[in-house]
Structure 1
């Protein structure tokens, strides 16, 4: 039996509202167990997607105090890329979402790295600061 590689999605949510992540995810996954009513520290949860287990983690204070990193890991994921995930989150949460462009490889220089920023102005590649 071939072992599938665990995949992950990571997005950054600005000024995360309580319950926003679970409210968004519950329409995309099954059996969601995530208490994001308060995100004062790391919050971990689980869900199922197409029968496969997903691990979900929220890390507040990523890139300064205003962003929370959301990481979803599993053999199968509801979105094909960080950007697809960010678009879905932005439509529901209506707050700025950022994600990596996804073409960076371990070991490459990170000079003036561009990120996708999704907000009321649209989708743009920006330098983080």
Structure 2
């Protein structure tokens, strides 16, 4: 199931358990309060105190598998680049 809503002027899409136990959150706008996706992920971790994984740059469908598998992991252990095979 996919959930969609608006947060102010920002279209939001949430997909529960998009990959295993992981949820997917897409903020489809460049008008969010954060400078970039990683800043948003850091804020989410700080607010929710749960591990957050974020694509390190703008996500595009045409990425190679190797590029698509590169993520930033933010957790109580800190922040690190990881390889995460999601497909």
* TM-score bin, normalised by smaller chain: 0.7 to 0.9
Q: What is the TM-score normalised by the length of structure 1? A: 0.57
Matched, 1:46 2:6: yes
1:106–1:61 distance in 2 versus 1, CA, 3 Å? closer
Shift of 1:109: 2.3
> Who is 1:115 aligned against?
71
1:92–1:128 distance in 2 versus 1, CA, 3 Å? same
RMSD over aligned Cα atoms: 2.0
1:45–1:107 distance in 2 versus 1, CA, 3 Å? closer
Structure 2: gaps (5+ residues): none
Separation of aligned partners in 1, 2:59 and 2:29: 21
Q: What is the TM-score normalised by the length of structure 2? A: 0.81
Separation of aligned partners in 2, 1:96 and 1:120: 7
1:106–1:71 distance in 2 versus 1, CA, 3 Å? closer
Which of 1 and 2 has greater Rg? 1
Separation of aligned partners in 2, 1:46 and 1:104: 20
Among 19, 24, 29, the residue aligned to 1:74: 29
Higher relative contact order (CA 8 A, sep 6+): 1
Shift of 1:79: 1.2
Query: Counterparts of 1:1-129 in structure 2 under 5 Å?
Result: 41-48=1-8, 53-64=9-20, 66-102=21-57, 107-111=62-66, 113-129=69-85
Shift of 1:89: 0.3
Shift of 1:125: 0.6
Q: Size of the alignment, in residue pairs?
A: 84
Structure 1: gaps (5+ residues): 1-40
